[in-house]
Amino acid sequence: MSAPYRFVRDLAELPTHGFGNRSLTWWGVILFMLMEGAGFALAGGAYFILKSHQGAWPPSPIQPPDLLAGTLFTLVMLASEIPNTMAKKEAEAEKIAPVRLLLPIISAIGALLLVIRAFEFDSLNVLWTDNPYGSIVWALLVLHTTHILTDWIDTLVLTALMFTRHGPTGKRFVDVSENSLYWRFVWLTWLPIYLLIYWVPRW
């Protein structure tokens, strides 16, 4: 006969959530970043393989992409880290008022970035169907755009939730913190892609 169950410790006082590596969400975000980072690395490798088989990069008479839209996008994305860091800090302090103020600002920046990105596609001076150069440049831009769009939608959902009765809870503050962490991954991965698309063809 098995021994009767008995409680040896009351865990009712333990916190129901945690930030950083104490959160399962954090580990999930880290794994996402590793997998998606590998995808970016593979795309970058494909870029250089195609470049090595091409005499001129870009092939004549195609001109390198115009710098205005891509550089403006990069500057806005770098500036977005200011409210992003503030949102992460306030979420980890579990302060609902500043989080409710910052999330709409971050959402608006995301929308602005998507608008600028549309102009980027128009400034590449090549179509993805034209040649291998056009295919990989478009692939890199589409790949990064999907990450911006994904994080933007996630931010919109979090923004809406934080204005409901479900917002000021530990789990939602954790979600805001991890969303901010993922946004850092999005803009950090853009920097080498920016160099590949806009500057390598000029070197």
Q: Which tens digit of pLDDT belongs to each residue from 12-33?
A: 566 666 677 777 888 988 998 9
Count the helices and strands in the chain (H runs, E runs): 6, 0
pLDDT at 120: 96
Q: How confident is the model at residue 171 (pLDDT cuts 50, 70, 90)?
A: confident
d(CA 59, CA 203): 14
Residue 159 tokens read as 């923004």
> Structure pTM?
0.86
Question: Pick the residue with more confidence: 5 or 73?
Answer: 73
Three-class DSSP category at 100: helix
pLDDT at 6: 72
pLDDT at 168: 85
The answer on pLDDT for 2 being more than 80 is no
Q: Which tens digit of pLDDT belongs to each residue from 82-127?
A: 999 999 999 999 999 999 999 999 999 999 999 999 999 999 999 9
Residue 84 tokens read as 């992003």
Q: How confident is the model at residue 145 (pLDDT cuts 50, 70, 90)?
A: very high
> Is 195:167 a contact under the CB 8 Å cutoff?
no
Identity of the amino acid at 191: L
